[in-house]
């Protein structure tokens, strides 16, 4: 085997494992725990991904009062929300809106600036039930931070599934490509987002491009990672891998639900303040001014 071939198929090195922190409330409707963030783990290690919050599972009582996160701005990145249980409604100042339920995904591009709200849907508010979801922030390179805001609703029926082995392991391809199957999400930089289900006893080796960062997010269950002396991981938690090598091996010791994130790092400085992620402090100041003066729009 040539050196190039061996390097491409070698396991990526596990850099760190991070258990979910204590839950905290976002708005009045979302109890979440952060499974990784560029501030805690270092931007280079997780780029192009900025953070991931896992919400629930939590039981929501029936109500006539819609809860969630009201009108607020974003600029310079994208948010990706995956719903496992429950139902969420979104609308934004670019005209994007949609309701997503179990298996659905919404991909919002804040880019040059947008104002939006994220709430329980009215139907879910009235009937109540279990809420479980996650939200990922994906950075944009400087050249695309001024792109128009946009919104993609990716329904469960439009997200293809790839069988990974003969015992029921599978991956929904939300973004990027796996086994020749492409996901429906449009991305600005090379990004893979695979939603995995591994039954107990299954073992899969996932291809990840050499030079790309990879993060495995385990929401439920327990797995072992890597060859030799595998690392045990119990959800909710995340595992971050180095860009060297071209594969990640996962063995499920219990039924497990995971998300594999991988992508080409964005080698640029990060300046972040609340809902804004730019490259310089001056750009943050400009973003604040744009929001306060209404240039990012408003919700009616």
Q: Each residue of 209-242: pLDDT tens digit? A: 999 999 999 999 999 998 767 789 998 999 999 9
Cα(124)–Cα(139) distance, integer angstroms: 31
* Residue 195 DSSP code: E
Q: Please report which confidence band the pLDDT of residue 149 belongs to, taking 50, 70 and 90 as the band edges.
A: very high
Task: Write down the pLDDT at residue 29.
Answer: 87
pLDDT at 43 over 90: no
Q: Identify the burial level of 229 via C-beta atoms within 10 angstroms of its C-beta, where 0-12 means exposed, 13-18 middle and 19 or more buried.
A: exposed
Task: Write down the pLDDT at residue 142.
Answer: 98
Cα(16)–Cα(51) distance, integer angstroms: 15
Task: Write down the pLDDT at residue 275.
Answer: 95
pLDDT at 249 over 70: yes
Displacement of CA 57 from its chain's centroid (Å): 17
pTM for the structure as a whole:
0.94
The correct CATH number of 7-292 out of 3.40.720.10, 3.90.190.20, 2.60.120.10, 3.30.1330.60 is: 2.60.120.10
CB of 199 closer than 8 Å to CB of 169: yes
| pLDDT-wise least confident of 52-56, 74-78, 139-143, 286-290 | 52-56
Q: Please report which confidence band the pLDDT of residue 42 belongs to, taking 50, 70 and 90 as the band edges.
A: confident
Length of the chain: 300
- Locate all alpha helices (DSSP H) within 10-149, ordered by sequence: 38-41, 43-46, 122-127
Task: Write down the pLDDT at residue 228.
Answer: 67
**Average pLDDT of 176-189?**
97
Q: Which of 198, 103, 98 is nearest to 158 (CA)?
A: 103
CB of 224 closer than 8 Å to CB of 233: yes
Q: Please report which confidence band the pLDDT of residue 286 belongs to, taking 50, 70 and 90 as the band edges.
A: very high
pLDDT at 299 over 90: no
Query: Over the chain, what is the mean pLDDT?
Result: 93
């Amino acid at each position: 085997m040539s050196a190039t071939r061996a390097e491409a198929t070698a396991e990526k090195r596990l850099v760190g494992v991070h258990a979910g922190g204590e839950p905290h409330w976002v708005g009045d409707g979302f109890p979440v725990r952060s499974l990784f963030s560029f501030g805690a783990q270092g931007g280079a290690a997780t780029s192009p991904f900025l953070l991931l919050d896992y919400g629930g599972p939590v039981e929501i009582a029936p109500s006539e009062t819609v809860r969630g996160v009201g009108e607020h701005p974003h600029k310079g990145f994208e948010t990706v929300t995956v719903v496992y249980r429950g139902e969420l409604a979104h609308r934004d100042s670019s005209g994007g809106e949609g309701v997503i339920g179990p298996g659905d995904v919404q991909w919002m591009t804040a880019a040059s600036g947008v104002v939006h709200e994220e709430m329980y849907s009215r139907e879910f508010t009235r009937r109540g039930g279990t809420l479980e979801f996650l939200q990922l922030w994906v950075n944009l390179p400087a050249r695309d931070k001024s792109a128009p805001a946009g919104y993609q609703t990716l329904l469960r029926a439009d997200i293809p599934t790839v069988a990974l082995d003969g015992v029921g392991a599978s991956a929904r391809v939300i973004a990027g490509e796996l086994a020749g199957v492409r996901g429906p999400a449009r991305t600005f930089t090379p990004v893979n987002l695979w939603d995995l289900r591994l039954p107990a006893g299954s073992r899969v080796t996932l291809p990840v491009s050499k030079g790309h960062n990879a993060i495995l997010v385990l929401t439920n269950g327990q797995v072992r990672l890597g060859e030799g002396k595998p690392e045990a991981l119990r959800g909710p938690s995340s595992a971050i891998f180095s860009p060297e090598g071209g594969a990640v091996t996962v063995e499920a010791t219990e039924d497990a639900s995971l998300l594999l994130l991988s992508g080409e790092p964005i080698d640029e400085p990060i300046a972040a303040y609340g809902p804004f992620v730019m490259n310089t402090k001056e750009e943050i100041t400009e973003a604040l001014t744009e929001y306060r003066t209404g240039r990012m729009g408003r919700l009616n």
